[in-house]
Structure 1
Amino acid sequence: MRIRVLIVEDDIRVARVNADYVERVPGFAVVGTAHTAAEARVRVQELAPDLVLLDHYLPGESGLRLLREISADTIMLTAVSDTSTVRAAFAAGALNYLVKPFTAEDLAERLAAYARYRAQLSSPDHTANQEEIDRAVRLLHDKDGKGTPKGRSAVTARLVAEALRQHREPVSASEIAQALGIARATAQRYLTTLAEDGRAIMNLRYGATGRPEHQYQWAQLPAQQP
């Protein structure tokens, strides 16, 4: 099940851009938008989103006031960057804080991290130990600000990730390369990054020649709670 996102942004054009950014990230879906705090309250009640992307500047009242009222997980997306507001946002429950202007890749990093954090704490009947809690917190922020590595394309990275997700069985870099029409070495680099990020599982398969071949499979995250 996809992570359901509500976008709260007073600028209609910016809201559309942010919605487009979210829809590019595998595993996420925009279920609605709101342009005022009052409208956001209604949408939260109606849609019960998993995640709210919240601007600070809203007509009539601040996003921080709304943040204190809603129970959904929230990431602030705002041009406000003074330290008192940042501290107040985290104190009020924001899980992350992204300053405008930002790129699609910047937002995708935060969303992917949130998905890993959510997966780590997804079992409602499980009592997490300290190690699991610490890991969840690290997952929420460990990729912040790193961006796409130099010499890498965010578009290619997304295509490789989507291609891997579509395969139920483990596949090789050669198979991904053939499916996308890219070089095997290129596919190998992006698959290795997915494995390092924990989004893919890498195993070795030994063929008739005895030479091992890397096989990759999308990491099966626990199902999201509705």
Structure 2
Amino acid sequence: MTGSQREGELDTGFAVLDTARESRLGFPEVIYGEGKTAEQLIQIARRMREKSDKLLMTRIGSEKAALVTAAVPDLLYHSEAQAITGFVPLPPPSREGYIAVVCAGTSDRRVAEEAAVTLEIMGSRVERITDVGVAGIHRLLSRLDALRNADVVIAIAGMEGALPSVLGGLIARPLIAVPTSVGYGTGLNGLIAMGAMLNGCAPGVTVVNIDNGFGAAYAAANIHKSIRREQ
């Protein structure tokens, strides 16, 4: 059976889309692309277009993205973020201020870009600060003004995961830490970085799951909206 099941739901035959999520939460349902076929993503995009002018799909490789964007007009593939957005270009920021997305190394940039693209489609301005890991801490210290002026900071790091702990002692801003799976064998695909962030002594650091740039960005955007609504 296809078509509307209950109010706010749309049954595609293989997925039930939450078409009322934008009215409840302020942003449409985000589509996780890993494990879905290109044809499934095409069908989802077409049905989502009936309900919203915004679309975000995450974790989509380049070959699958080429098929989806060729079949559905007005979609944009962000290759480094492995994300698709639509159905209009990324909007200009809808609120004052900005969110800093900080990554320790170049190898963390895929996760950082997933976070940045998510923030941009949700209406926040992004300040990207890259390759400022603690092994060259002078690079981080030279960007402290930009970090201290941000409304929210997302800190992304693999290896030993030390970046958020250092930032937590330097800035008085909501700080969301993202461990990445970047690192050598004993890094255990990000488990060591996540453990370090969860056990850090800097106060006020919130930790999301390994490689979850999207989750960090969604939370940061909600914080940003709340901060700017109160001002």
Per the normalisation by structure 2, the TM-score is 0.41
Q: Highest CA radius of gyration, 1 or 2?
A: 1
State the TM-score, normalizing by the size of structure 1: 0.42
